[in-house]
Amino acid sequence: MRRKLIAGNWKMYKTAAEAVALVEEIKKGVAGAPGETLVAPPYTSLVAVVAAAKGSPVAVAAQNMHFEKEGAFTGEVSAAMLKDVGVSHVILGHSERRQYFAETDEGVARKTKVALDNGLLPISCVGEKLAEREAGRTMEVVGRQVDAILNAATADEATKVVIAYEPVWAIGTGRTASPEQAQEVHAMIRAKVAALDATIAASVRILYGGSVKASNARELFAMADIDGGLVGGASLKAEEFAQICAAAG
């Protein structure tokens, strides 16, 4: 039985003080929630949020990391640095990283492997653009992205990877894939994993990300292969995020 995971991606919002105030509200709201809860604040708030979340059911993730151990990479952050501040997860290859910062399938796969090597749990993102969906290329594009991620991990490591399917056309647009559309892609992703190992496929969690809200969460999470959500804007509202977490039962 896969336990649902609800991950809140705060993107470029919240100062450290604001982030602590938000996580304190979220801690109260998700007490007793049926699934796992995770928040991903900006780098500048990680230390404060890790401290505020300590001893609570709320885990903390970073929103990105570099694949190199260290070096002359101004503005970047390494896996070791993230481990040092106490995060447990890292989001990799978010559609905004791919779209605005030219991240590639190969780069996301490389980061996934580095995260695993450093004891971080990767939430590796995949998803198609609107033009690709309209051209009937969803399975081709998402399948290619998933293959790159799986090829970077051993079979044992694959059990630790969380895959997040986020159709780019549904990110921050208010448009959401129907539960059936999302389930179709999630089932294909699980089949990709099953081609490597059926037992691993049964345990790997696949999240849906794309305008997840309290109003649609329960219907989405009821789908057989949707194991939770990667939540954007709604995770900045403690009450709504708690409602989404409650829908994971």
Residue with tokens 């982030």: 19
**DSSP class per residue in the chain:** -PPPEEEEE-TT---HHHHHHHHHHHHHHTTT-SSEEEEE--GGGHHHHHHHHTTSSEEEEES---SSSSSS-TT---HHHHHHHT--EEEES-HHHHHHH---HHHHHHHHHHHHHTT-EEEEEE---HHHHHTT-HHHHHHHHHHHHHHTS-HHHHTTPEEEE--GGGSSSS----HHHHHHHHHHHHHHHHHH-HHHHHH--EEE-SS--HHHHHHHHTSTT--EEEESGGGGSHHHHHHHHHTT-
Catalogue all structural domains in the chain, each as residue range(s) with its CATH number.
5-246 (3.20.20.70)
Give how far Cα 218 sits from Cα of 123, 151, 171, Å: 21, 32, 19
Q: What is the pLDDT of residue 1?
A: 78
- pLDDT by residue, tens only, the chain of 249 residues: 799 999 999 999 999 999 999 999 999 999 999 999 999 999 999 999 999 999 999 999 999 999 999 999 999 999 999 999 999 999 999 999 999 999 999 999 999 999 999 999 999 999 999 899 999 999 999 999 999 999 999 988 999 999 999 998 887 777 778 999 999 999 999 999 999 899 999 999 999 998 899 999 999 999 999 999 999 999 999 999 999 999 998
Count of residues making up the chain: 249
Residue 166 among the catalytic residues: yes
Q: pLDDT at position 176, please?
A: 76
User: Is-catalytic flag, 36?
Assistant: no
> 36, 96, 103, 166: which is the annotated catalytic residue?
166
Query: Which of 94, 96, 103, 128 is the catalytic position?
Result: 94
Predicted confidence at residue 5, as pLDDT, reads: 98
**pLDDT given for residue 239 in this prediction:** 97
pTM above threshold 0.85:
yes
